[in-house]
Amino acid sequence: MPSAHVDRFVIDRLPGPDTLPRFVFEGPALQFPPQLNVAQALLLRHRGTAQGARPCVRGAAPDGMPIAWTYDELAARGARIAHVLVRELGLVPGERVLLRGANSPMLAACWFGVVMAGGIVVGTMPLLRARELAGIVDKARVRVALCDARLQDELRAAMAQAPTLQALRCFNTGDLEAAMAAAPDAFEPVDTAADDPVLIAFTSGTTGQPKAAVHGHRDLMAAAACWPVHVLRAGPDDRAIGSPPLAFTFGLGGLLVFPLAAGGSTVLLEKATPDALPAAIAAHRATVCYTSPTAYRAMAPQLAGHDLSSLRQCVSAGEALPAATRTLWRQASGIEIIDGIGSTEMFHIFISAREDQARGGATGYAVPGYEAAVLGDDGQPLPPGQVGRLAVRGPTGCRYLDDARQAGYVQHGWNLTGDAYLVDPADGQFVYQARTDDMIISGGYNIAGPEVEAALLLHPAVAECGVVGKPDEARGMVVAAFVVLKPGHVGDAAMAAALQDFVKQTIAPYKYPRELQFRSSLPRTETGKLQRFRLKQEAAGSV
Ligand code: 3UK
């Protein structure tokens, strides 16, 4: 099927066939028509039907007034935005549109407006600064941006550094709403090919230049046919809520694409921190919650006084879920967390387990539709119990925009996520060890930092912790822990010794942190990941 893209900037910069992963589409649910537009498939096809009148997205306007739009109301707003993009800003299919804003119903309307018009969405994290925004504009060659009025300063500053960006409209009480009012509320979506790009997702990039992962219309629908159907199993009466930004594919899938694909609804909150989320779950009667392991840990002691009776399912991703956090959350909420590993490159979760299969410390099984394996250094699968590189393939996969690092993520048709895993010989579950470059090799032993963290988290005084390798002349590296204590505990030498002993009693003694420092907080990315490279620098004494 010919592409509908008039602007071929992205299509011309995709990896060649020899560096693409093997895409696997098995079973009737993964067969798609040659032409597909996700805005049509998720939203527009319901117009005027009973589904069109059902609740779709909730949230609040900038003045705090509650918003509750049906499918038809979201579609109408998306259509008006598509008209503004095409008529006023001259957008052509294939052009990139940068979106900037905290999660809100208007951000979702902008997302659909861009997609209806055949554009490619370039999501950006709200906390990014002008310099980082300019890098994204440059890499994706962005001419048009839609921005929350309250976040426009940093983007205007970026425009000075990135001259391709020329057209900016602001929403959530800005000039976009005025332009929308003058536009029709119906738009014929561009008839895109199923594999036309629809999204450029920048990796959160803990180090180095961020990578731009491209996904097409079919990729989003294929992801929606896998994990949400087989593991989550949420339906039309479910209402999603959570913290990940729509610029992070964990949030885009969990809080927009998947709820709509199931005919359900979503709550898009500007502020979904652990202090705010329990009250929001109660206020919106949400049924499915998406957030990070650290947020579940921080929320667990704060549930009293909130009516969480609507909540059925809790999804954790972004980093490994420690067994102690799973237990803590089950005790506080009565809910068994669904853990899942996903990545920006794969779009969403590819290894996970249903609540009834979930086991502390394990991520789960390959999601139906995906295959997963643990490979040795020679690229061949390892027997269960041995630690190697996690490899996955399925209906989605890595396609970096114009990036030599494609050859690092994709090898022999597999997507290599950069994670060290093993398969548990007892139950076949995939068990996370560490990022491959974070494995600590000390005195000839391989030690996974997250395993030591999981042990420390079992101690009642520990709120959060991070464990990294510190260069050491005698042992090559030693295990160094950074610990945040819960209120009421003192980080003195006695506490350090007690924690070290505790680890020796809990896991193999050679894994205990020989160095242990107390901190008031740990460095994290906007997607909730611990910034280990900072802890490593600190441990090495370079900062
Ligand atoms: C790590 C996990 C252990 C792992 C993401 C769900 O996190 C997401 O995407 P990113 O590109 O990072 C990918 C990397 O993060 N990771 C994520 N989840 C887990 N490690 N257990 C987990 N449950 O290192 C992976 O390679 O930021 C997660 C859905 C969409 C996503 N983009």
Please state the pTM of the whole predicted model: 0.95
Q: Beta strands of 136-232 (E only): which ranges?
A: 144-148, 167-171, 197-202, 212-216
Q: What is the tens place of the pLDDT at every residue in 243-277? A: 999 999 999 999 999 999 999 999 999 999 999 99
* CB distance 240 to 254 below 8 Å: yes
Q: What is the pLDDT of residue 542?
A: 61
Q: What phi and psi values does residue 279 have, to the nearest 5 degrees?
A: -65, -35
Ligand 1 centre distance from Cα of residue 50 (Å): 37
Q: What is the tens place of the pLDDT at every residue in 446-455? A: 899 999 999 9
Q: Please tell me the distance from the alpha carbon of residue 265 to that of residue 105, in angstroms, as a whole number.
A: 11
Q: What is the tens place of the pLDDT at every residue in 467-517? A: 999 999 988 999 999 999 999 999 999 999 999 999 999 999 999 999 999
Sign of CA dihedral 496, 497, 503, 508: positive
Ligand 1 centre distance from Cα of residue 526 (Å): 13
Ligand 1 centre distance from Cα of residue 340 (Å): 8
Residue 202: exposed, middle, or buried by beta-carbon count in 10 A (0-12, 13-18, 19+)? buried
Read off the tokens for 137: 């504009």
Instruction: Work out the average pLDDT over 62-83.
Output: 97
Ligand 1 centre distance from Cα of residue 285 (Å): 27
- Percent of all residues in the chain with a pLDDT value above 90, rounded to a whole number: 94
Angle between helices 323-333 and 449-457 (to 10 degrees): 40
Q: What is the pLDDT of residue 208?
A: 67
Q: Please tell me the distance from the alpha carbon of residue 158 to that of residue 135, in angstroms, as a whole number.
A: 9
User: Among the listed ranges 140-144, 204-208, 231-235, 354-358, which one has the minimum average pLDDT value?
Assistant: 204-208
Question: Is the CB of 349 inside a 6 Å radius of any atom of ligand 1?
Answer: yes
List of domains in the chain:
439-540 (3.30.300.30)
SS3 of residue 393 by DSSP: strand
* CB distance 12 to 51 below 8 Å: no
Q: Please tell me the distance from the alpha carbon of residue 97 to that of residue 82, in angstroms, as a whole number.
A: 11
Q: What is the pLDDT of residue 296?
A: 97
**Residue from 315, 319, 339 whose mutation best tests the ligand 1 pocket (most atoms within 8 A of CB):** 319
Q: Is the pLDDT of residue 206 over 60?
A: no
Q: What is the tens place of the pLDDT at every residue in 360-378? A: 999 999 999 999 999 999 9
Q: What is the tens place of the pLDDT at every residue in 164-187? A: 999 999 999 989 999 999 999 999
